[in-house]
Amino acid sequence: MLTASQQRKKRLFDVVAATTGICLTGWLMLLAWVVASAETKSNGLFMQTRIGKDGRRFNVFKIKTMNAVQGVRTTVTTSRDRRITRSGAFFRRTKIDELPQLFNVLSGEMSFVGPRPDVPGFADELEGEDRMILQLRPGITGPASLKYKDEEKILSMQDDPEAYNREVIWPDKVAINKAYMQTWSLKKDIGYIIQTVLG
């Protein structure tokens, strides 16, 4: 568990880094939004309900990378998902679609580093000591995100992607995020961000 001092340090870093990031990449977010809007013929900004700190729900912001396809309702995405647009494949590969989450960080709903915010049905159903990770703000990146940076490709090779995600990947992410929380340091957070940027 992070101490009050560690939480303040982490939050201060988030505010400064998010403000800097928005100033530097605002033009790129705007360009991506225009491209996504044109290709999907809808608002290029995607909002989805996710589970945040203390189990509270919030809307995560992303650049839209998918079209709605009749009959496809799963929230698990593979690299072969036919809903992904041409520009969306590029945005997802380069993580440009994640940039609007800088506003989630600035507002205090997210952190730069932490567990990825999941759709309802995962984090909100944690039990016992696993619920400790709900004490953290969800992150744009983190050790679990880095380990599973090719998650969509991994899932595309499974006979049942949804079952594999729930039974194999999700429990491993919970264990990784618990270890992250128990050994937190600002230096490690900066290291995870650098690893994410370098790809």
**79 versus 28: which is more confidently predicted?**
28
Look over the chain and give the mean of its residue pLDDT values, rounded to a whole number: 92
Each domain of the chain, given as residue ranges in start order, spans 4-198
Q: pTM of this prediction?
A: 0.89
83 has pLDDT over 90? no
Section 28-53 average pLDDT: 95
DSSP code string of 68-101: --TT---S---TT-TTB-HHHHHHHHHTGGGTTH
Q: How far apart are CA 136 and CA 112, in angstroms?
A: 11
State which H helix or E strand residue 112 sits in: strand 111-113
pLDDT of the residue at 10: 97
How large is the angle between the packed helices 86-94 and 4-40, nearest 10 degrees?
A: 160
Strand ranges inside 13-99, DSSP E? 45-51, 57-63
